[in-house]
Chains A and B, each alone.
Chain A
């Protein structure tokens, strides 16, 4: 199936099933969003949509990744799913497909696509934010398997997750990026403790995850021992490709809703015009990235530009929302008011999560401008 056909038949299907897919109520808590996500994933998987763009060996129906980009756009622009939690699939499934034992990938990936399971990504640690290669969560070889001890933080959706793609230190503490190994962990393994973090935007999306003598079978190793850095580096461009196209659709919808909702005179035309331009630029950039993925190109450092552009556009849109809907954001206590407030606050993190704005600029300077090492 090609994109043109997919678009037409999917749009029709979404229209026919609008009532059953719509969120049950105005409840915008994370619990409600997760339940809605699972419902929409299941319905779209059963109808086949969610399987397009994924390889047949993991339960997919094949076809271009453009189909995944369009499905996420279609669901996001209809407000059926929250794009951040929806797009986790785009980051974690390719990693499993590329690095897991094929039988394991064939068993597990359909569960993620169908919404039966939630997965999380255990990368950051208290002492390892921007400097990912310094991670210290330790995995040691034992007869029973890897023995893992350590702590992760900022692990999105860990409290909902059945599995985790975990980065561990298997080399010496000084081995930096050479001594890292990735593994696929069952979150119900004995010794794992999850503690959600309360954040300023009100949804406990992130957690701390503690590992105390957790045993992980060797069959769950992703790639080879010591290859974890490559797993992480291959995963990161996925955070900045299909997932960002979904985000573009979300930002467009919210900006239109802001124009609809703002009282007369509340939006400064110059700032509104600039927000539109930034969104057009980001969307066009991201579209080109989707087509590079479609052509089978390997994405790399150039996706850091996409990431800077999405963060810039997102903050421009929600800065404008905070100005244009000042009364709502400051005083409103209804569900819609709370949503604008929460999304505005969340947008403050757009230049922090997924590689901070400074890290992206470091990558651009070193890899795209070829300015050499910075020390």
Chain B
């Protein structure tokens, strides 16, 4: 895509996210299907992920796009970093809505095969109930587990707008299918590349966190210009200005790590981007909440929606805290810094 195409694509994605505000996740899925987003995800992963997830973050939108990224990346791990995710059919939104993801704080496969049993513990969205079976990543590939073997509980939780459900249970392998047996893409057990899926999911989540954070900064900036105390806008006070400057630095730092993760993709680059975006979102939430002060503490202002979303995204596929410690432990274990971006 050239610069004009990118601008148009960005505009269409933003429009889709905005027009689905307050509607079900499957509505945004459908709007994305009309735009051909799933095909673009296959052919042009970077703009598809970067532009969509930042837009979804900016509007606290919801869809099953993260699930589509996981499925596409796991099924078609590229051999080289510049190869597109896949050369075959895009992942359907139906398939994505049935996917079980790791619980907050976890990054291992939500399914585990022990002997002749598969144990499942993870999360999905309420749309899972429309399906007969859940699609469960395991160390032995992607399995479909009939829903009647699983306890599916709706949760309100920190971000009720996400309509999350917890999924837990066990089934005998004899009762389980390999996901998509009719589809050669997902046919072979063990072909699902979880590490690659996790890397792509982290990058997507990091973009979404950047989108959420930029929106929070925009809210706080507007408030700082409008709110008058002591006869002047509070944005003239250095204490306020420096908080907002600090916020922009944190967000731009996260954006820089994302740039690095796309230019030279690797699992470690993805984890650095996710951790940096999580840190940026936390820094942003803290400073912007303080600048928004009283109004930001009410539900009359949208800030709380962004704070809730940021914290949920921060915990998915590994938080800043856990990823940062793990990175340090890896460096100590190998004695080597991760490769740095070349000029």
Binding site for B on A (CB under 8 A): 3, 7, 66, 69-70, 73, 245, 248, 252, 255-256, 259-260, 267-274, 276-285, 287-288, 290, 305, 308-309, 358, 360-362, 364-366, 368-369, 371-375
Contact = CB atoms under 8 A, between A and B. Distances in A.
B221 interface: yes
Nearest to B260: A284
B244 to A, nearest CB: 6
A182 B269 CA distance: 45
Given A276-B338, A277-B272, 7 more contacts: A269-B328, A272-B327, A273-B275, A280-B269, A290-B343, A365-B241, A365-B244
B224 A371 contact: yes
Nearest to A290: B343
A269 B338 contact: no
B220 to A, nearest CB: 10
Contacts, number: 148
Nearest to A363: B245
B246 interface: yes
Interface residues of B, number: 45
19 contacts: A70-B343, A259-B332, A259-B335, A272-B331, A273-B324, A274-B324, A283-B260, A284-B256, A284-B259, A284-B263, A287-B343, A288-B259, A358-B242, A362-B238, A362-B245, A365-B242, A369-B244, A371-B241, A374-B236
Residue picked from B235, B241, B252, B256, most chain A C-beta under 10 Å: B256
Interface in B267-296: 269, 272, 275-276, 279
Which 7 residue pairs are nearest across A and B when measured between Cβ atoms?
A: A269-B328, A273-B328, A365-B241, A273-B327, A272-B328, A364-B245, A361-B245
Contacts of A256: 336-337
B153 to A, nearest CB: 34
A78 to B, nearest CB: 15
Nearest to B335: A259
Contacts of B259: 284, 288
B328 to A, nearest CB: 3
B257 A284 contact: yes
A305 B252 contact: yes
Contact of B235 (A73, A361, A372): A372
Contacts of A279: 340
A283 B328 contact: no
A260 B336 CA distance: 8
A55 B235 CA distance: 44
Contacts of B279: 277
Contacts of B221: 369, 371
A288 B341 CA distance: 11
A121 to B, nearest CB: 26
B236 A267 contact: no
A319 B161 CA distance: 42
B225 interface: yes
A372 B236 contact: yes
